[in-house]
Amino acid sequence: MLPLSESVPLGVWSQLSPGSIHLWQMQGAAIHGGLAQCQGWLSADEAARAARFRREQDRHLFILSRGGLRYLLGRYLNCEPATIALDYGEYGKPRLALAKTLHFNLAHSNGWVVYGFSCDRPIGVDVEPVQPRTHLEGLIQRCLTPAEQATLPTDAGDRLRVFIHYWTLKEAHLKAIGPGLSYAMNQVEILWGEPPCLGLPARLPHQDPLPWHLRTWYPAESMVAAVCGVFRAGAIGLYPFPLAF
């Protein structure tokens, strides 16, 4: 499991080097007074997406997640958050419109947002709550390989917890390579261990395979987060999002 730094190291923005990754986690409820600032940084299409959320808490989390992304990108790129131009890949994954040397990904769920950054390789992150799922057994059959299903405990609570770990790791991987959940989860296999690893990675036409690595961490007791990237052993920083920005 990845350890969380107690604070943001001085000059961390210049320490993202080839073979390393930076991870950030934000609890939306802890960001006081940042909503208006984040909203002011959004592009027109992001503001339109925010307006389509019916529930206020979902709308606020989207605004904070995208505003937080722009803040972090601005620090890494040394520019104003509102000036950053984003576009989207074939499968809808956000990316920088101009500078292609900084790769990033984000995910949010149940009030938490996680971000991943790499300066040389694609990266994917996911965060999920450990809470009951409707039709869990059907999800297990549809999303896990037979070998993965064989590792699931029989106890209901442990069975759910391990399934959520598998789901989070697989989604992080599928977001790293691009297609996300449009790619069948049961075509990816995770080998359970510390750390977990990919027994069967996703394959896309005309895409060279990369030496992907996986790691998990826990933003809160009931949350699981995962990252998939290409990085050296020990070259991961996990930081709390600045409460004042």
Residue 134 pLDDT? 87
> What does each of the 245 residues of the chain score in pLDDT, given as a tens digit?
799 998 899 899 999 999 999 999 999 888 877 899 999 999 999 999 999 999 999 999 999 999 999 999 999 999 999 999 999 887 888 999 886 689 999 999 999 999 999 999 999 999 999 999 889 999 999 999 999 999 999 999 999 999 999 999 999 999 999 888 889 999 999 998 889 999 999 988 877 889 999 999 999 999 999 999 999 988 999 999 987 77
Paired sense of beta strands 189-191 and 197-200, if any: antiparallel
Q: Is residue 111 part of a domain?
A: yes
Would 194 be classed as within a structural domain? yes
Q: What is the CATH number of the domain that holds 119?
A: 3.90.470.20
What is the phi/psi pair of residue 206, to 5°?
65, 25
Residue 13 located in a structural domain: no
The C-alpha angle 68, 20, 113, rounded to 5 degrees, equals 25
Q: Is residue 3 part of a domain?
A: no
- Give the domain range for residue 77: 19-240
Please tell me the total count of domains within the chain: 1
| CA gap 87, 96 in Å, rounded | 6
Cβ-based neighbour number of residue 196 at 10 Å = 17
Q: Answer whether 0.85 is exceeded by the pTM.
A: yes
Q: What is the pLDDT of residue 25?
A: 97
Residue 139 CA to residue 161 CA, distance in Å, equals: 13
**Residue 197: inside a domain:** yes
Residue keyed to tokens 């956000």 = 94
**53: exposed, middle or buried (Cβ count in 10 Å: 0-12, 13-18, 19+):** middle
63 part of a folded domain = yes
H or E element in which residue 45 lies: helix 44-51
pLDDT value, residue 30: 84
- Specify the pLDDT at position 99: 66
CB-based burial, 135-148: b 16+ in 10 Å, e otherwise: eeeeebeebbbeeb
* In a domain? residue 7: no
Domain assignment present for 14: no
